[in-house]
Structure formats: C-alpha cells, structure tokens
C-alpha cells in the first residue's frame, strides 16, 4: 500500500472511530453527577485509560459544595387531551436537568412556571439545568408550548437525588521532561453534539495519536470532568501540583461546528508561550486562527484554571463557539450541525499545534561569539554568486528561507528569547523554525535550555 493510500485509510479509520464513539455516547442522559456521567466515562476509558477519582456528595470544595447524585428514570408531561407533550424517552433534555421528582395533576396556568422554551427558536427544545436550586420542569419547543390546550396536565418525573460521588478522570502520557501539557474537557451535558461530545472526541483522538508518538518532549495530562464543579474538584486535589508541573494547557470544547478556523482564547496570563505561539500563527496558512483575549466573563473550565489563586497558563480551544450558533444549549446541537469530519479536522490541527509547541522553547547558541561558520557545515553557499546558490544540489541551500531561519535562530538564541519570540520578531510562523532548530541541534550548535517551572 502506498504512503498516500495508507494515509487515506488511516483517516477513514479515524473517522469511523469518532463516528462510532459519538453514536454510543450521544443518547446517554448525562449530568454533573450520576450514572449517565459514569457510563460515558467508562466508554471513553476504552480509549483513554482514565484513572477515576471520586468526591463525596456534601463535601466542601473551595467555596462550593459537591452536589448529590442525580438518578432519573423517566419523565412525561401529558395533556388534558392525553397527548404526550414532553417525554424523557424521546429526548432526555425534555426534562429539566437535575430535576427533582414530581407526580401530580395541575392546570396549564400553574404548569407555566415549570416550562422552558425559546421564543427565538420555536422548534428547539432548550437544555436547561438547575443544579444548585431544587426545581422540577419540562423543556419543550416554544411552538408546542404556545399551543398547549387548557385543562389538567399530568406531570410525572421519576428522579432521585442521593448521596454518592462526583467523578473526574485523568490519564497520563510521560515525555522526556516532567513538565506537563494539560488537555481538559467536560462530559456533563446530555444529548448535545458540538457543545459536549466534540470535546471528548478530540480528546480521545489526541490520546491515541500522542500515545503512538515516540519522542514526546512534554508529558501530557488528560482530564475529563463535569464542567465547573468538576474542575473545581480536580483543582482542589491537583491544583497546587499543577502550579509546579504545568507547562501549558487548553480546555477543549465546541470543536465541531462550521466555523472555518479554530478559535483560541488566551490564558489569563495573556503571554504564555502557547498564547504567543498561537498569535504568531497569524503567519501560518494552515494554523492561522481566530485569537480571543482572555476574559473572565464567559468560558468553560479555563475560568477555574485561570482563577487568580491558580492562574495556570491554560487557554481554551474551540471552533464554533457557544452562544455564537443557533443550536447552543438546545436540541439543534446535533451530529449533523456538528459534523464528525470537522471534529477530526480540529483534532488534527490541535495535534499539529502540539507538535509545533514541543519544538518551541528557550535555546542557546553554543557558539555565540561571531557568526557560525555555516559554510564548513554545508549550510552556506561557497560563493557569493547567485548561480552557485541556485545550482546547489543541496535543497536546503536552494532555500533562502531555511538559511534565514538558521541565521535568526543563531543570532537570537541567547537564552533570553525563546523560539516563539524569534518567530514573532521575524513575522514567521513558528512552524517555519522547526527544520532549522532540528539541523542546528544535530550540528550541536544549538542547545535546548531546560526551563524549571516557575
């Protein structure tokens, strides 16, 4: 099989892998606690060997209290005409997520306070949660809601909150250094595609790729948890350790929408090496992406990682962002909207980003006095004539850009300017520096400086 054919085949397998994983995970009714979350985690464990940890209901986590587990078995809203207007079996977001039990008859008027719909998207069932205040409720299309007949409704939700645990998972891939790259996603939303499953899908694919990669420079930490309360639990146990071991990280979510490029929100530091590298991709045709400044006003788990007590260099990688598409937090967020092909494309791009990041760092020119004699290493043309330059059999010498990267790296690698700085300074994509870094390391004139964690 040719290399190209093998590549195509591999990609097909990747697609099938993601597609099947999606189909198994989508129907499960997840929440921040309970059996749905655990079942989903078990399925992911087939790919990522997550070690699972538990946090007891009622225990204190920083300023928060771990909620009880939510066990739901059914829920239905039946009209005076015996029609079923909302049914948990049909759509698990029909019942307010984390809803308490209810079993009674009531007038439409009394029912209204327990109904949720979206006037702007009259055919969509909204995804509504009430984790920290006990409520019961049904979510239904606004068009349905508006046409509900007067009369008595039977409302029945069979659900229970019980003492138990909130769960998180993490897995590791060791690298040459102990410094870690955190890849974190969440798994608490029920049947939603872009704003739920795209994250864990990318995480699974990345784990597979990185596990196969032979020469990982950094160690990798994969984390999965229920959003917000889950990352708080995780940080309560590993936050201090992460302050020491973390090189960089990103929260992965909303990675399957139609947006053309990825979209990166910088860490609270705004100038982590990853933040700077991604901005420098403005000079990269393939990895050029939307760059967002850090904001504490909205986001996902990076809001916890970037809280002032931790201030970890963790960004947020997405594509079509929450609140920027019609299907956000409602039943329009489907596999069709999301697109497995795009999820794979996002995953591949993030893998490229990580591969580039592995090469970025602080380097030192070991012969800093004067320019290096590149000619004797075959890295510089032996005459000043353009002819020689062009006639050289060595492809590298034919490539003025390669020579330029060599010159820039040697001049600026003084142990103070990292390779991302050099790319920024020269207005190049960071990826363009990789060949020269490799060649100069081979010639033992460039040394990577192991930076200790701050």
Q: What residues line the site for its own copies (CB under 8 A)?
A: 61-65, 96, 116, 118, 126-130, 132-133, 135, 228, 231-232, 235-236, 239, 268, 296-297, 303-304, 306-311, 329, 365, 367-373, 375-376, 382-387, 404, 407-408, 410-414
175 or 249: CB nearest its own copies: 249
Those residues whose C-beta lies under 8 Å from the C-beta of residue 253, and which sit 6 or more positions away, are 185, 186, 195, 198, 199, 300, 316, 317, 318, 322
Nearer to its own copies, 284 or 302 (CB): 302
Encoded tokens for 87: 């049914």
Rounded Cα distance between 36 and 298, Å, is: 26
Cβ–Cβ contacts within 10 Å for residue 50, how many? 19
- Among the listed residues 137, 75, 143, 133, the one whose alpha carbon sits nearest the alpha carbon of residue 112: 137
E-state strands within 214-368: 219-225, 246-252, 263-265, 290-292, 314-318, 362-365
Instruction: Label residues 82-100 b or e (16+ Cβ within 10 Å = b).
Output: eeebbbbeebbbbbbbbbb
Nearest distance from residue 141's CB to its own copies, in Å?
A: 14
Identity of the residue, 64 or 71, whose beta carbon is nearer to its own copies in the bound complex: 64
Q: In 142-197, which ranges are continuous DSSP H helix?
A: 142-146
Instruction: Closer to its own copies by CB, 310 or 351: give it.
Output: 310
> Rounded distance, CA 20 to CA 44, Å?
12
What is the Cα–Cα distance from 55 to 66, expressed in whole angstroms? 7
Minimum Å gap between C-beta 69 and its own copies is 19
Question: Which C-beta is closer to its own copies: that of 279 or that of 349?
Answer: 279
Q: Which is nearer to its own copies, 118 or 439 (CB)?
A: 118
Give me the least distance between CB of 119 and its own copies, in Å please: 9
Strand partners, 71: 160
| Paired residues of 290 in beta bridges | 263
- Min separation Cβ 183 and its own copies, Å: 20
- Quote the least distance from Cβ 70 to its own copies, whole Å: 15
Rank residues 23 and 123 by Cβ distance to its own copies and give the closer one. Answer: 123
Nearest distance from residue 251's CB to its own copies, in Å?
14
Q: How many CB atoms lie within 10 A of CB 444?
A: 9
CB of 167 to its own copies, least distance (A): 18
């Amino acid at each position: 099989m040719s290399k190209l054919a093998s590549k195509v085949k591999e990609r097909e397998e990747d697609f099938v892998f993601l597609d099947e994983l999606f189909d198994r995970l989508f129907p499960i009714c997840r929440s921040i606690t309970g059996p749905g979350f655990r079942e989903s985690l078990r399925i992911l464990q087939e790919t990522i060997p997550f070690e699972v940890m538990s946090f007891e209901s009622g225990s204190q986590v920083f300023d928060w209290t771990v909620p009880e587990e939510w066990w739901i078995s059914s829920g239905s809203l039946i009209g005076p005409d015996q029609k079923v207007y909302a049914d948990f079996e049909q759509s698990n977001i029909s019942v307010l997520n984390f809803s308490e039990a209810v079993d009674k008859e009531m007038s439409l008027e009394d029912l209204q306070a327990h109904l949720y719909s979206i006037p702007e998207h009259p055919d969509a069932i909204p995804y509504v949660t009430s984790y920290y205040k006990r409520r019961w409720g049904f979510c239904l299309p606004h068009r349905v809601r508006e046409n509900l007949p007067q009369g008595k409704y039977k409302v029945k939700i069979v659900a229970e909150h019980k003492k138990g645990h909130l769960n998180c998972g993490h897995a590791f891939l060791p690298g040459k250094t102990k410094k870690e790259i955190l890849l974190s996603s969440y798994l608490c939303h029920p049947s939603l595609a872009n704003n739920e499953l795209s994250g864990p899908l990318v995480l699974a694919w990345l784990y597979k790729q990185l596990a196969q990669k032979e020469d990982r420079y950094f160690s990798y930490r994969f984390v999965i948890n229920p959003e917000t309360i889950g990352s708080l639990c995780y940080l309560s146990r590993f936050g201090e350790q992460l302050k020491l071991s973390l090189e960089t990280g990103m929260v992965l979510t909303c990675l399957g929408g139609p947006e053309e490029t990825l979209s990166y929100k910088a860490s609270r530091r705004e100038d982590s090496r990853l933040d700077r590298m991604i901005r420098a991709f403005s000079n990269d045709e393939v990895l050029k992406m939307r760059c967002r400044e850090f904001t504490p006003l909205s986001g996902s788990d990076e809001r916890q990682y970037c809280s002032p007590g931790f201030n970890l260099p963790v960004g947020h990688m997405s594509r079509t962002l929450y609140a920027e598409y019609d299907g956000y937090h409602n039943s329009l967020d489907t596999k069709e909207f999301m697109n497995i092909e795009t999820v794979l494309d996002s995953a591949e791009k993030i893998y490229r980003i990580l591969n580039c990041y592995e090469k970025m760092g602080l380097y030192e020119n070991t012969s800093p006095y004067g320019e290096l004699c590149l000619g004797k290493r075959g890295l510089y043309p032996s005459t000043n004539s353009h002819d020689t330059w062009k006639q050289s059999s060595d492809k590298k010498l034919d490539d003025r850009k390669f020579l330029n990267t060599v010159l820039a790296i040697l001049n600026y690698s003084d142990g103070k300017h990292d390779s991302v700085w050099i790319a920024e300074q020269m207005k190049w994509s960071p990826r363009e520096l990789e060949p020269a870094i490799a060649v100069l390391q081979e010639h033992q004139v460039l040394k990577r400086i192991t930076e200790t964690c701050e």
